Chain A
Amino acid sequence: MSRAADNTPAVCPRCRSTTTAVRSTSPVAGVWTVFGCTTCFYAWRSTEPEENSSPDTYPAVFRLRPEQLANLPVSPSIPPIRRRSSGQR
């Protein structure tokens, strides 16, 4: 999942972070590449319509801004760790 020097887009179409990387390439070589963002976990394929693959045409309604990412609701909530007892598996 390393950053490919060649054609990896510089920014994520959705959150505009620069944390983009190649996720995988098509099993039949040269057909498509899947890219992903390690900040917002958006993923897109090189062959998708431009609204999904280009920051310039990505629909505003689906954009994620840093302040939104920082305040996403957590579900389910993480419980406190139990104190260990001898009966525990």
Chain B
Amino acid sequence: MRAYADLREFLSVLQQERQLLHITEPVSLEPDVAAAACALTQLGEASPAIEFTNLLGYANARLVMNVHGSWPNHALALGMDKRAPLRDQFFEFARRYRQYPGDLERMASAPWHDVVVDGDVNLYDLMPLFRVNRGDGGYFIDKPCVISRDPDDWDNDDVENVGVYRLQVKGRNRLGLQAVPQHDIAIQLAHAEERDEDLPVAIALGNEPIITLMAATPMLYDQLEYKMAAVMQGKPYRVVKTAKGLDVPWGSEYVLEGRILARQREPEGPFGEFPGYYSGCHRYPVIEIDRVSHRKDPIYDAVYVGRPWTELDFLQAMTTSVPLFVQVNATFPEVVAVNALYTHGLVVIVSTRTRYGGFAKAVGMRVMTTPHGLGYAKIVIVVDADVDPFDLKQVMWAMSVKVNPAGDVMIVPNLPVNLLDPAGQPGGMAHKMIIDATTPIAPDVRGHYGQELDTPQRTDAWRHRLAALMEELEP
């Protein structure tokens, strides 16, 4: 476990761990920045972060991408060994998640107080904005932590919200905000708009890696992301208050302060989104920025989104799997692990012990009825407890031999699904499917499962011995 003070400290660790590339030659904002970030996703499972320091048109801009974009980077963000297996990262994430809440450490000043632009803000000057995908409606700030409070419960820290919501830059100090009704910020905006008041927001950019993961986690409305970040990093989370009373990470590179304009909606989008399809255009809320504060030589952190997998998939991997696991396990303690890594959990693989015939199907239905599952979990695959849901070879074996579609496939008609799922018909509605790939047990007596292969005696001892020898082989 490790508490990174800021993005800079994390980048120095990525550097030490050989997980950071530097591009110092001149690079055009389009199409090269996105092309380089896309190429990284095609270079294997351990792709590094990338820093650009010579962007055409900027004198000294610094842009980093792919900071969370591989399992080694994700492990390092959690303060784990970069070789930590996926399954270990899941169980460690879940262990910490269950220790909620941690504490805040309130600081009086922050490095981002160094430079202040008050009035006459020009975002295009302040940060290297660029188009990610050719059909995007413009330039998006796509890795922000947006901080807001509930106007009906202003002083209650637990309902303060930190969320990742994409922001379209529409003018020098004007942003579009994607806030769908399911988002926490939509609840707060509704309360402000019922009062006919603007909603103050702070937008923190360039953050240490944990708060971004927490801001991407579908937590409960009265759970504060900073308090979850504190237990995830094993140390109280440092925040600084803005003049409006919003808590902002101490270590941010940039802090934009402004207001969501009450009762206004403007065309926004499209933006290439996590399913690997564009979002379409909507009329979304609008933010006006009044003030920007930033560190000296600030670092702008952005995410590339393309056909999965990209960095975005790592941001919504364990952050989706663990809340689902905690919620389903609270009802069914038999559930061992949940893999919701695929497209924010449109496909979920859950491993569970089974108590009697049909049990696995009930577990699958519980996954669908979690708050996140309502909009995702279109296909739920249930496997036995001895199948690692993060090892797709094992999952495919279970699907191959444990499934008889005659009795193991359930289709549940017309359930809600996220609007961004291109398969929805109409958009936002889909049938969902449970595939029971567990071994039938009584009174479900289908199939012939009495003679399953196991491992020879003393295999475990040999595995330890040989693993040590293999380690010695490494250079």
List residues of A whose CB falls within 8 A of some B CB: 1, 14, 23-24, 26-28, 31-32, 34, 36, 40-45, 47-49, 51-52, 59, 61-62, 64, 68-69, 72-82, 88-89
Could you tell me the distance between the alpha carbons of A8 and B274 in the complex, rounded to whole angstroms?
Answer: 34
Q: Residues of A contacting B12 with CB < 8 Å?
A: none
- Whether the Cβ atoms of A79 and B30 lie closer than 8 Å is no
Question: Which residues does chain B contribute within 8 Å of A48, judged by CB atoms?
Answer: 30-31, 131
Contacts of A43 in B (CB 8 A): 137-139, 169-170
| Contact call A40/B267, Cβ cutoff below 8 A | yes
Contact B171 A26 (CB under 8 A): no
Q: CB-CB < 8 A to A89: which residues of B?
A: 151, 154
Contacts known (A23-B171, A48-B30); A74 close to B134, Cβ less than 8 A: no
Contacts of A62 in B (CB 8 A): 134-135, 270, 278
Contact: B267 with A78, CB < 8 Å? no
By a CB distance below 8 angstroms, the chain B residues around A61 are 135
Which B residues fall within an 8 A CB radius of A?
28-31, 56-59, 122, 124-125, 131, 134-135, 137-139, 151, 154, 168-172, 176, 179-181, 186, 189-190, 193-196, 263, 265-268, 270, 278, 281-285
- Give CA–CA (A41, B174) in the complex, Å: 11
Point out the residues of chain B lying under 8 angstroms from A77, CB to CB. 181
19 A-B pairs in the complex with CB atoms less than 8 angstroms apart = A27-B125, A28-B57, A28-B59, A31-B57, A41-B137, A41-B266, A41-B267, A42-B138, A43-B138, A48-B31, A52-B30, A61-B135, A69-B267, A74-B265, A75-B181, A75-B283, A76-B180, A76-B190, A78-B265
* Complex-state Cα separation, A32 to B28, whole angstroms: 10
Q: Is the CB of B265 within 8 A of A45?
A: no
> A64–B190 Cα gap in the complex (Å)?
29
- Residues on A with beta carbons closer than 8 Å to the beta carbon of B266: 41
Residues of B near A82 (CB, < 8 A) are 194-195
6 extra interface residue pairs, beta carbon distance < 8 Å, beyond A34-B124, A44-B131, A59-B135: A23-B171, A28-B58, A43-B137, A45-B131, A51-B134, A72-B282
Interface residue from B56, B58, B196 paired with A81 (Cβ < 8 Å) = B196
Chain A neighbourhood of B263, CB < 8 A? 78
Please report the C-alpha to C-alpha distance between residue A49 and residue B125 in the assembled complex, in whole angstroms: 21
Q: Complex: how many Å from CA A27 to CA B181?
A: 38
| Chain B residue contacts of A44, Cβ below 8 A | 131, 138
Of all chain A residues, the one with the shortest Cβ separation from B187 is A76
B417 CB → nearest A CB, Å: 16
Distance in Å: Cβ of B121 to nearest Cβ of chain A? 11
A52 to B139, CA, bound (A): 12
Q: In this complex, what residue of B is CB-closest to A47?
A: B28
Residues of A contacting B: mostly: loop
Pairwise interchain contact B56-A47, C-beta atoms closer than 8 A: yes
Known: A69-B267, A76-B179, A89-B151. A81 touches B194 (CB 8 A): yes
Contact of B168 among A1, A41, A74, A81 (CB under 8 A): A41
Listed residue (A28, A43, A74, A76) with the most chain B CB atoms within 10 angstroms of its CB:
A76
Partner of B30, one of A40, A45, A69, A80: A45
Q: Residue on B with the closest CB to A81? A: B196
Nearest chain A CB to B41 CB, angstrom units: 21
User: What is the CA–CA distance of A80 and B195 in the complex, to the nearest angstrom?
Assistant: 9
Residues of A close to B281: CB separation below 8 A? 40, 64, 68-69, 72
Indicate if the CB atoms of B186 and A23 lie closer than 8 Å.
no
Nearest CB in chain B to that of A24: its residue:
B124
Q: How far is the CA of A45 from the CA of B188 in the complex (A)?
A: 35
Cα–Cα, bound, A4→B155 (Å): 47
Give Cα distance in the complex from A34 to B124, angstroms. 9
Residues of chain B lying within 8 A (CB to CB) of residue A40: 137, 267, 281
Chain A's nearest CB lies how many Å from the CB of B62? 13
CA distance A81 to B265 in the complex (A): 16
Instruction: Please state if A52 and B134 are interface contacts (CB–CB under 8 Å).
Output: yes
Whether A23 and B124, one on each chain, are in contact in the complex, defined by CB atoms closer than 8 angstroms, is yes
Asked if A26 and B57 make an inter-chain contact with CB atoms under 8 angstroms apart, the answer reads yes
Is the CB–CB distance between B59 and A27 below 8 Å?
yes
Docked Cα-Cα span, A61 to B270, in Å, equals 11
| Residue on B nearest A52 in the bound complex, by CB | B134
Which residues from A are CB-within-8-Å of B282? 72-75
Q: Find chain A residues with CB under 8 A from B171 CB.
A: 1, 23, 36
With A23-B124, A74-B283 as contacts: A36 and B58 at CB distance below 8 Å:
no
Nearest residue (CB) in B for A64 is: B281
With contact pairs A23-B171, A41-B168 given, residues A76 and B56 touching in the complex (Cβ less than 8 Å)? no
Whole-angstrom distance between the alpha carbons of A51 and B134 in the complex?
A: 8
Cα separation A32 to B57 with both chains bound (whole Å)? 7
The distance from the CB of A20 to the nearest CB of chain B, in whole angstroms, is 13
Contact partners of A78 in chain B: CB under 8 A: 193, 263, 265
Task: Report chain A residues within 8 Å CB of B30.
Answer: 45, 47-49, 52
Residues of chain A contacted by B270 (CB below 8 angstroms): 62
Q: In the complex, what's the smallest C-beta–C-beta distance from A12 to chain B, in angstroms?
A: 11
| Contact B57–A27 (Cβ < 8 Å) | yes
Query: 7 nearest interchain CB pairs?
Result: A26-B57, A24-B124, A43-B138, A31-B57, A62-B135, A82-B194, A74-B283
